[in-house]
């Protein structure tokens, strides 16, 4: 993979020009894209900028995020050829930081569940996950050092786990969702994919101008609470193994690790995530559903058909539970610095008929907490499996620091 931090180091020290760094990404795309299918469209004028912390960094943008100089087609024929006037703020932030937009990456239609044709770079017979399929696959295939995706259920952390890359779903609204096709405004979160945790930190710091997100000298070893999310069902053996490997590595590196039980209202919040998502989706997709019913992606349309009966009272009750769970979860961090759990049930499923299951992700999206995927192991078939590091609301720096600790502990094994 292409390490953003390593590219930055070489560009800063003049051992690599920003132009050459971009050329390297474009060549990698030329070499691997035909096999993977991670891009919907490539930038016509993908040239390096000459200033900014992300100069020389080629970025892939999930195709539900508006770009002023490339169509944004939402993975759906309903938006075929649609050309937004403006860049979404997250794209403008990347450009202002010096990045080059390499192209638009594949997305399941409207970031729901209908799969794309993108292949997992580690095993072409398996899904790369979704909905941010192309962004995860393009970074995992070593085509680009940075990509943007979005998560409403598990659409950043899950494909990152499946493609063996690091990813962060930051705290709710750390990155604006303006100019990003909405699925559910309470849930939608823009996230980043990169080769490693340090690369994420540099990318997120450059986009936001928040220097506290930059990698810091290693501090005290984290107190880790392991969360099994029983309410979400059993993981597969590969998921359990990845978590055990990460726990052992963290303990060997000096972390204190304990099992953490979450308050009952948190399990309730897990259960009502679909109520919040679907009630808002009916509003967010009101025009598409009403004016383009036949052209809607079948799985999303079916989901909307089934959830038609969700009432405003159901939604209001669900939001109250979510509020209570957020408050209760804050207390769960009294004795631990981070939580550690599954990024996905197991390895990426075979075939392309499903993008996998977000059941270990959706709670954290609803809670708005920062989550980082750290690749932990390789299952049979060369398939990556990650683990998920979760920190307090607003503590993205803590999530990144702890994820780096886990990543380095795993590398030392």
State the residues that interact with a copy of itself by CB under 8 A.
68, 78-79, 82, 85-89, 91-93, 95-96, 173, 176-178, 182, 185-186, 208-210, 280, 283-284, 286-288, 290-291, 312, 316, 394
Beta strands 223-226 and 256-259, pairing class: parallel
**In the complex, what is the shortest distance from the CB of residue 26 to a copy of itself, in angstroms, rounded to a whole number?**
24
**In the complex, what is the shortest distance from the CB of residue 177 to a copy of itself, in angstroms, rounded to a whole number?**
8
DSSP code string of 229-278:
-GGG-PPPHHHHHHHHHHHHHHHHTT-EEEE-PPPHHHHHHHHHHHHHHH
Residue with smaller CB distance to a copy of itself, 9 or 210 = 210
Residue with smaller CB distance to a copy of itself, 34 or 290 = 290
Residue with smaller CB distance to a copy of itself, 40 or 247 = 40
**In the complex, what is the shortest distance from the CB of residue 349 to a copy of itself, in angstroms, rounded to a whole number?**
32
Residue with smaller CB distance to a copy of itself, 148 or 165 = 148
Beta strands 223-226 and 100-105, pairing class: unpaired
Residue with smaller CB distance to a copy of itself, 44 or 287 = 287
Among residues 218, 209, 213, the alpha carbon closest in space to that of 201 is found at: 213
- Specify the DSSP class assigned to residue 66: -
**In the complex, what is the shortest distance from the CB of residue 223 to a copy of itself, in angstroms, rounded to a whole number?**
24
**In the complex, what is the shortest distance from the CB of residue 221 to a copy of itself, in angstroms, rounded to a whole number?**
27
Q: Is 240 exposed, middle or buried (0-12, 13-18, 19+ CB in 10 A)?
A: middle
Residue with smaller CB distance to a copy of itself, 20 or 68 = 68
Report the phi/psi class of residue 254: left, alpha or beta, with left for phi > 0 and alpha for psi in -120 to 50. left
Question: Helices 298-306 and 264-284 meet at what angle, rounded to 10?
Answer: 110
**In the complex, what is the shortest distance from the CB of residue 191 to a copy of itself, in angstroms, rounded to a whole number?**
16
**In the complex, what is the shortest distance from the CB of residue 102 to a copy of itself, in angstroms, rounded to a whole number?**
19
Residue with smaller CB distance to a copy of itself, 293 or 335 = 293
Q: Is 102 exposed, middle or buried (0-12, 13-18, 19+ CB in 10 A)?
A: buried
In sequence order, what are the residues at sequence separation of 6 or more whose Cβ sits closer than 8 angstroms to the Cβ of residue 177? 150, 185, 188, 189, 190
């Amino acid at each position: 993979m292409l390490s953003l931090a390593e590219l930055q180091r070489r560009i800063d020290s003049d051992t690599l020009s920003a132009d050459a760094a971009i050329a390297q990404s474009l060549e990698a795309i030329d070499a691997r894209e035909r096999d993977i299918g991670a891009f919907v469209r490539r930038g016509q004028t993908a040239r390096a900028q000459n200033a900014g912390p992300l100069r020389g960094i080629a970025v892939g943008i999930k195709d539900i995020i508006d770009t002023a100089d490339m169509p944004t087609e939402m993975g759906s024929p309903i938006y075929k050829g649609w050309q937004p006037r403006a860049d979404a703020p997250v794209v403008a932030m990347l450009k202002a930081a010096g990045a080059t937009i390499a192209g638009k990456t594949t997305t399941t239609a409207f970031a729901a569940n209908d799969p794309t044709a993108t292949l997992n770079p580690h095993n072409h017979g398996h899904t790369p996950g979704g909905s941010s399929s192309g962004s995860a696959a393009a970074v995992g295939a070593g085509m680009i050092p940075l990509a943007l995706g979005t998560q409403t259920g598990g659409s950043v952390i899950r494909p990152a786990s499946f493609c063996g890359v690091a990813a962060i779903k930051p705290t709710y609204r750390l990155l604006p969702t303006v100019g990003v096709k909405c699925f559910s405004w309470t849930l939608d979160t823009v996230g980043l994919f990169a080769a490693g945790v340090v690369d994420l930190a540099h990318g997120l710091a450059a986009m936001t101008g928040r220097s506290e997100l930059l990698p810091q000298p290693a501090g005290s070893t984290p107190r880790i609470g392991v969360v099994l999310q029983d309410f979400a069902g059993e993981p597969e053996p590969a998921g359990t193994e990845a978590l055990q490997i990460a726990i052992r590595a963290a303990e060997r590196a000096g972390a204190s690790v304990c099992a953490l039980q979450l308050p009952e209202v948190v399990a309730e919040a897990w259960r009502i995530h679909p109520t919040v998502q679907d009630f808002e989706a009916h509003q967010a997709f009101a025009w598409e559903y009403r004016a383009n019913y036949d052209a809607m992606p079948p799985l999303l349309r079916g989901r909307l058909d089934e959830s038609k009966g969700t009432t405003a009272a159901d939604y209001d009750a669900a939001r109250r539970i979510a509020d209570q769970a957020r408050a209760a979860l804050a207390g769960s961090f009294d004795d631990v610095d981070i939580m550690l759990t599954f990024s996905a049930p197991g390895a990426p499923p075979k075939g392309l008929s499903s993008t996998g299951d977000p059941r270990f992700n959706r709670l954290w999206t609803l809670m708005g907490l920062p989550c980082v995927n750290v690749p932990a192991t390789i299952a049979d078939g060369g398939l990556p499996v990650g683990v998920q590091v979760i920190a307090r609301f607003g503590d993205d720096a803590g999530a990144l620091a702890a994820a780096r600790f886990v990543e380095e502990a795993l590398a030392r094994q």
